[in-house]
Structure 1
Amino acid sequence: MQILGIYGGQDASGLTATVVKEILGAVQAPATTAFLDLNDFDLHPESPQRPNPDLDQLAAKLQAADIWVFGAPTYYTTIPGQLKQFFDVMRHRWTRMTKNGDSLPNGTFQDKHYVSVTSCFAPTWDNLFTGQTDLTLRAIDGAMTLAGVHKITELVCPNTWRQRIPTVKKLARARVIGRQLSHYQRKDDETLKRYGLLFCMIAVMALATMGIQQLWPALTNGFWLRYVSFVVIFFVLLAIILHVMTFMRHKRA
């Protein structure tokens, strides 16, 4: 197994890159690691009239790795330009377009896995409630979804203003991730898992809805009243759950 660190930011010796390197440094044999600084590559778009050998080199390194660890500091609440340009110029290599203009994985990198690492100046509680790192993580997730690559986990380092090195807690967490990646079991398809989670969520919501109806017997007087009250209660519970899941989707502390 090979684990590839990919840094897309301005300073490959900075805090976010240090966390990525800490993850790679904790990887245990026989797994191997490598680190890429996207600043070392020419990321211009390619065409038949203007080939780009650097993209061929990057594609070969991506193909050889089983797990990608992205390091991307959060700049202005979003993804750094270096990583965004990398996603843009690599898009045609890992996606295909349907006749309706939809992007789908083309199979080249499908079923590989990735980890996201980001950081921000915002204090921990500020990032917790405002989600300043969310756009960075969503940008990585969106590009990887198009490529058919599966997410393992993410690591967020808030409150980095004037920090020279990551905190002891974040470095320890990075080492834990690195050790876990050493023995990570590849998951080629999570469709069954998603359907299982969906079934469990619906089952719990239906039970909760029926329980609420029992608290107010008047809501069950007649078929249509029972039906309407069930739909309304179920919808409210669904909206609450989706809101909570959206809020808690990314690690922020």
Structure 2
Amino acid sequence: MRILGVFGGQDIDGLTATIMKEILNGAHDADCEFINLNNYHLAADRPGQSNSDLDLLATKLSAADVWVLGSPTYFGTVAGQFKQFFDCLRPRMVRMTKKGDTLPGQYKDKHYVSVTSCFASGLDNTFTHQTDATFTMIDKAMSVAGLHKVREVVLPGTWQMMQVPADKVAAARRLGAKLVVKERKDDETVKRYLLLFVMIAVMALATMSIQSLLPFLTTNFWLRYVSFVIIFFILLACLLHYFTFVRHTRR
């Protein structure tokens, strides 16, 4: 097992980088390496020109089983170094069809962990979603490349914070240990069908409960049917929106 930490940010000794290092420290039985993108000249590939730094990064990424990707949240998204890294690496992460569609490239079926931090408190971040754009940006790049997400880690309330809290350090180390021993299950088809079944069952029960509270909706077959469809649709749409809206870790 090889785990590669890739950090893009201003402070290599900062809070985000520290959490990443603690994740790697927790993976005792793995071959771990931490990369600071500030030490690399990140430039796009040009025909006929060498790109040794990007070649080296691509080789390290290819050799790793799990990527721990970390960047502080600056102005609502990833740091510039991190965005530059993804932009330059994109042609190597995906394959383009003749129609311009993207397909997973050489890193398909690897796994990744996303790490970020922000000044906002945990409560504030829960409602303002300041770190969502960071996780979304990472997820977009990784999903088109065919990687599978293992976990998100966020450290809120970093304003004037001098060191990572002990509970976050412990959680990071536990995550690192799990990365080594946890069996990877990339096909989540059964899980998704079970989740869909539970959602439909709950929404059907809720719809029938609402109908029972409003007897006039069940006076005849068609009124019962139409009201069931409308109520069920509204409840299911709200549930799907809720889970989509809060899909990222914020505390």
2:56 corresponds in structure 1 to 57
Q: Following the alignment from structure 2 to structure 1, what is the Cα–Cα distance between the partners of residues 32 and 165?
A: 23
Structure 1 contact 116–155 (Cα < 8 Å) conserved: yes
Question: Shift of the alpha carbon at 1:48?
Answer: 1.8
Q: Following the alignment from structure 1 to structure 2, what is the Cα–Cα distance between the partners of residues 72 and 35?
A: 13
Question: Shift of the alpha carbon at 1:5?
Answer: 0.6
SS at match of 2:67: strand
- Farther-moved stretch of structure 1 (191-200 vs 179-188): 191-200
SS at match of 2:62: helix
Superposition pairs of residues 155-194 of structure 1, within 5 angstroms: 155-194=153-192
Q: Following the alignment from structure 2 to structure 1, what is the Cα–Cα distance between the partners of residues 223 and 103?
A: 44
- Per-residue CA deviations over 1:155-195 (Å, capped at 9, x if unaligned) read 11111111221111211111111111121212232233223
Structure 1 contact 111–189 (Cα < 8 Å) conserved: no
SS at match of 2:44: coil
2:227 corresponds in structure 1 to 229
SS at match of 1:13: coil
SS at match of 2:233: helix
Superposition pairs of residues 1-253 of structure 1, within 5 angstroms: 1-29=1-29, 31-106=30-105, 108-253=106-251
Q: Following the alignment from structure 1 to structure 2, what is the Cα–Cα distance between the partners of residues 249 and 167?
A: 24
| TM-score, normalising length: structure 2 | 0.93
- Farther-moved stretch of structure 1 (64-73 vs 46-55): 46-55
Question: Shift of the alpha carbon at 1:70?
Answer: 0.8
Question: Shift of the alpha carbon at 1:227?
Answer: 2.5
Structure 1 contact 4–33 (Cα < 8 Å) conserved: yes
Question: Shift of the alpha carbon at 1:200?
Answer: 2.4
Question: Shift of the alpha carbon at 1:99?
Answer: 4.1
SS at match of 1:206: helix
Counterpart amino acid of residue 109 in structure 2:
D
Count of aligned residue pairs for this structure pair: 251
Which sections of structure 1, spanning at least 5 residues, go unmatched? none
Question: Shift of the alpha carbon at 1:46?
Answer: 0.3
Q: Following the alignment from structure 2 to structure 1, what is the Cα–Cα distance between the partners of residues 60 and 202?
A: 45
Which sections of structure 2, spanning at least 5 residues, go unmatched? none
Q: Following the alignment from structure 2 to structure 1, what is the Cα–Cα distance between the partners of residues 95 and 67?
A: 21
Counterpart amino acid of residue 97 in structure 1:
M
Structure 1 contact 2–65 (Cα < 8 Å) conserved: yes
Q: Following the alignment from structure 2 to structure 1, what is the Cα–Cα distance between the partners of residues 18 and 79?
A: 16
Overall identity of the aligned pairs, in %: 59
SS at match of 1:33: strand
Question: Shift of the alpha carbon at 1:43?
Answer: 1.3
SS at match of 1:79: coil
Q: Following the alignment from structure 2 to structure 1, what is the Cα–Cα distance between the partners of residues 189 and 146?
A: 12
| TM-score, normalising length: structure 1 | 0.93
